[in-house]
């Protein structure tokens, strides 16, 4: 687990891609809880709540609601692919975590993801102002690849990024 983002002022073109990777890094925590509680990977209600919240926050930052929705929809899809991959890899749970307490989604994970989401909105706004989507897409692909994510996870995250930059 990486933790929450520290800066709300992006410094370079790699900021948004790094935040995308950081958000995905929390998915091990999320999927452990889902697995332990026999919850499905997809939580349509939570996903819609998140998208609506991000749209509202994005509009405050001057971002079009549709761009925000599509950006985060891509990140959610990437997260679900990652969670599904984790479950296939660890159908009985990660053996290195046996006996460790489950993370608390409401106290630790969701607040961290919410803070990350707001940082991502700030970075998205800066990236959209620069209007250099090819550089951003290349930086994101590099960050996601170096983090070791599958082609499916990377494709979903990049699809969301591309939509968010339009």
DSSP state letters, 114-126: HHHHHHHHHHHHH
Tell me the three-class secondary structure of 148-160, residue by residue. CCCHHHHHHHHHH
Give the pLDDT score at 131.
72
Give the model confidence (pLDDT) of 76-134 as tens digits.
999 999 999 999 999 999 999 888 999 999 999 999 999 999 999 999 999 999 878 99
- Say which CATH topology domain 15-165 has: Chorismate Mutase Domain, subunit A (1.20.59)
What is the reported pTM?
0.89
């Amino acid at each position: 687990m990486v933790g929450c983002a520290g800066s709300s002022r992006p410094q370079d073109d790699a900021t948004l891609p790094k935040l995308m990777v950081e958000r995905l890094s929390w998915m091990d925590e999320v999927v452990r809880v889902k697995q332990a509680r026999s919850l499905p990977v997809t939580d349509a209600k939570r996903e819609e709540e998140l998208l609506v919240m991000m749209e509202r926050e994005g509009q405050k930052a001057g971002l079009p609601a549709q761009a925000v929705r599509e950006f985060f929809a891509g990140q959610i899809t990437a997260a679900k692919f990652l969670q599904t991959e984790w479950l296939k890899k660890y159908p009985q749970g990660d053996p290195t975590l046996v006996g460790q307490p489950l993370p608390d989604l409401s106290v630790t994970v969701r607040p961290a993801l919410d803070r990350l989401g707001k940082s991502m909105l700030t970075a998205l706004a800066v990236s959209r102002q620069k209007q250099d989507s090819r550089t951003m897409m290349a930086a994101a692909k590099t960050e996601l690849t170096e983090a070791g994510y599958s082609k499916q996870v990377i494709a979903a995250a990049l699809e969301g990024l591309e939509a968010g930059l339009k």
